[in-house]
Each structure stands twice: as structure tokens, then as C-alpha cells.
Amino acid sequence: MCRLLGLVANKPVNFKFSLERFREFASRNRDGWGVGWYCEKNKEPLIEKEAKEATISEKYTSTFHVNSCIFIAHVRYKTFGEPKVENTHPFAFKNWLFAHNGSICEQDELYLAESLVELLKGDTDSEKLFLYLIQDINNESEINQIIDSLVNRITELKKFKYSSLNFILSNGEYLIAYRDAISNLDYYSLYYLKRDYDSPAISYLSPETKALIDLKLARDEKAIIVCSEKLTRDEEWKCLSNGEMLVGHAGDLDCRIIKWK
């Protein structure tokens, strides 16, 4: 059982987690934490992560002052793969970042090209899922082709046994969030919220995740937040239905929801 958190904004924004609140949440997700974002200069993915419970980590506050248009965060409760850095989300390959919540019971059935098999660093189903999803699109930036490829891959995945395919994925230009759970739908939720300069309340607390995010949005700045649970009680969070994918663009913050059978 893990938790996902992502943000895409039309300008670089600052984000940070409250140390105390994150500590409380991590006590139930003890097998690692990670935050990934993109270097503003060259769009290179950057990651800080440890295979430790955040309550005993001395460096997880290093991401508090990062500025980026996109970030993906994850706290891990292991199913497949022992607690080690190689098994900790998010994962990166070229310009891609990825984090997953769920288990794939038949991960050996996920075919990877030999060149990608050699790139596997850990032994989780999630890392293999990541490379499986992007192996046809890792050099593509055209969003329609990316979506078509993901749809094809997900269609193939439905042949296998899994608890959830919930994931957040980015190539540095787009943030893509997908929800697909077989059971325990209340847990495997995925919510999103659009925020801008005129939105009330910049600091907000999730009673579920115990995470505090500070988004210091200046005028004309807009953001879309995706999270496993609602982060505020008084705003209009929307829940992705099973089989729905959110696609957000960092440049103009275009947001669309895609659903297929």
C-alpha cells in the first residue's frame, strides 16, 4: 500500500512537505520515500529518495525548496521487492519519471525488450511496469502518440492479475495520471484539483495522508494537483473513475480526461 502525489504547473513553483506531518504518514508507509522533479535548465529528471521510513531519514527535507513545473512524490509500503533504494519510487529513465500504487501478481508476463531488461535496477513489479509502459514511447514527445501507446499497453495489462495500476508518469512536459483498480476502490482512489492564484487557502492539510503542501502561487500561476486522497475539505476535488487518465500540460496547463473501455 503506497500513496501518490503529483503536481503540474504552468510556471516553476515551490513545494514542500511538512516534516511533522510527513513523519506521521510515513509511520504507515515505512519502506521508502521519494520525490522527483525536473531541472529547469535542461528538463533533466532529478530524484531524492531513500529506502527508509521518513521518520528516521535525515535528508528528506532537501526537497522542500525545489522549484519545478512538475513533481512526483511517493511513499512506499512494499509488496514485491525489499526496502532498498533500487526499489524506491519514483523511477527514472531518460526524461521519464514514474510512481505506482498497487501490485501486479504476474509481473513475469510483462515482456521487455532485452535492452530494457538490462536497465532494471531493482526487483519490483512497479519498475518493470514503468519500462513496460514506456518502451514504445521513450523517445517520443508527441502526446497523442504517447497516449495511444499507453492505452495499448494498459489493454494488454488487463489480461493479467493485479490489484491496481494507479500511476503518475511524466516526460517533463506532460503529467499523466491513471486510475485502474480491481478491488478496494476506496483505497485505490486518485483525485485531482485545479488551483490558480485566485484560489483560497494556499496551505492545506490532508487528514488522510497527514501531508502539508505549501504552494506559493504568484499571479498568473496555475497548477493541477493529483493525489491518492483529497488534500482539502472545502474545495472541489474530482475523483478519476476507473479507466480514466488525466493529462496535464506544463506549458498552458491544458487538462483533459481520457476514458476508454
What is the three-class DSSP state of 94?
A: coil
Domain regions of the chain by residue span:
3-259
Tell me the CATH number of domain 3-259, given options 3.60.20.10, 3.40.50.300, 1.10.3720.10, 3.40.50.2300.
3.60.20.10
Do 205 and 231 touch, CB atoms closer than 8 A?
Answer: yes
- How high is the pLDDT of residue 158? 87
pLDDT at residue 251, rounded to an integer: 78
Q: Is the pLDDT of residue 39 over 50?
A: yes
pLDDT on residue 209: 44
pTM for this prediction: 0.88
Write the single-letter amino acid at 64: F
Asked whether residue 254 carries a pLDDT value surpassing 60, the answer given is: yes
The mean per-residue pLDDT over the stretch 194-207 comes to 56
- The answer to whether 72 touches 90, Cβ cutoff 8 Å, is yes
Residue 244: its pLDDT value, please? 95
218: which DSSP letter? P
- pLDDT at position 19, please? 34
Higher pLDDT, 258 or 101: 101
Q: State the first-to-last Cα distance of the chain, in angstroms, to the nearest integer.
A: 26
Residue 136, class by beta-carbon neighbours within 10 Å (0-12 exposed, 13-18 middle, 19+ buried)? middle
**244 close to 259: Cβ distance less than 8 angstroms:** yes
Three-state DSSP class for residue 19: helix
- The Cα 15–Cα 8 span in angstroms is 11
Pairing between strand 166-170 and 212-214?
unpaired
State the chain's mean pLDDT as an integer: 81
pLDDT digits (tens, 9 = 90+) for 86-139: 899 899 999 999 999 998 887 777 888 888 889 899 989 999 999 999 988 876
- Closest C-alpha to 189, from 132, 131, 231: 231
